[in-house]
Structure formats: structure tokens, C-alpha cells
Amino acid sequence: MGNFQAQLTPKLVDALYVEAMVLADEARSYFDTIGRDDRLSLDPIDRVGFSCESLKVTTRLMHVIAWLLTQRAVAAGELSRDQAGEAERRLGEAPQTDRGLFPRLPEAAADLVRASEELYDRVSRLDAGHFADEPAGSPARSLLSRLQRSL
């Protein structure tokens, strides 16, 4: 893992985990209350887009939280790197925000979308760096891993 392993400390993982959980709670609170009224104020097609964006926020945050929990389990010795397996410890792919809809979203919804994207991007960079020093596997294993992630 080289130098990167020293940078991915339990303190960093814990801080990101707290941030992700707070953001998840804010998103749940907004989309379950004020967001309902905000959604109703939109045109019908934008209502559908609003609902899709709320699911994308949730998906991004769940990928982040799952990745962080796996990192915590490995760091605590509860799970070995082999037990975690590459597919389970890599950050899942997040859906892209509909940039055409984004300007029409209510401000609070747009803020949550933006915050979830920023957090996901930061964790994604950690994930990419975390595995950059791993030895290259066989092309067959690489293909199998990509297939597993896509299913």
C-alpha cells in the first residue's frame, strides 16, 4: 500500500463517516419534509427529476458509508483485506446528476446534491489512491472484477 496507507488513518475515516452520516440525516430530513412541498411546486417532469435526484443523493451517500465502514472494519482487524475482497472494499459507482435539471431544483435540494457529490468525489480520490499501489493483477481477474461491480 506504500505511503498512502499512512494517510488513510482511522481518524480520517471516522471524520468522513461522521460527515456522511450527518449529510445522510440532513438529506432524509429534507426529502421527507420540506422537500415534499418543494417537489409539489415543480412542473410534473421536474417532479420526476427531483425524485430521481433524491435517490441519487441517497445512493452516493450509501456508497460512501459502505466504503468507510469497510475501511473501519479492516483497520480494526475485524476484516482482513482478503475477506473484504476487492469488489466489496472499492467505492461503488455513483449516478451522475442531471445537469439540465440542476438549475431548476429548489436551493436546498441543489445544496444536498452538491454536498453529496463533493463528499463522494473526496472519498473516490481516497479510494483511487488507496489502491494505486497494489500490484497489477491478471487481465482475467481485472475483467472479472469489473463484471462483478457492474452486476
Q: How confident is the model at residue 18 (pLDDT cuts 50, 70, 90)?
A: very high
CB-based contacts of 14: which residues, under 8 Å, 6+ apart?
A: 72
Q: Where are the domains of the chain?
A: 4-150
Q: Average pLDDT in the 14-27 region?
A: 97
Express the helix, strand and coil content of the chain in percent, nearest 5 each: 75, 0, 25
Mean pLDDT, all residues of the chain: 85
Q: What is the pLDDT of residue 86?
A: 55
Write out pLDDT tens, residues 40-93: 999 999 999 999 999 999 999 999 999 999 889 888 888 877 776 654 568 889
Whether the pLDDT of residue 95 is over 60: the answer is yes
Q: What is the pLDDT of residue 104?
A: 96
Q: Is the dihedral of CA 51, 55, 56, 58 positive or negative?
A: positive
Task: Give the homologous superfamily in CATH for domain 4-150.
Answer: Protein of unknown function DUF1465 (1.10.8.930)
More confident residue, 63 or 8: 63
Q: What is the pLDDT of residue 132?
A: 53
Q: What is the pLDDT of residue 40?
A: 95
Q: How many CB atoms neighbour CB 89 within 10 A?
A: 19
Q: What is the pLDDT of residue 12?
A: 94
CA 21 to CA 6: how far, in whole Å?
A: 24
CA 121 to CA 63: how far, in whole Å?
A: 11
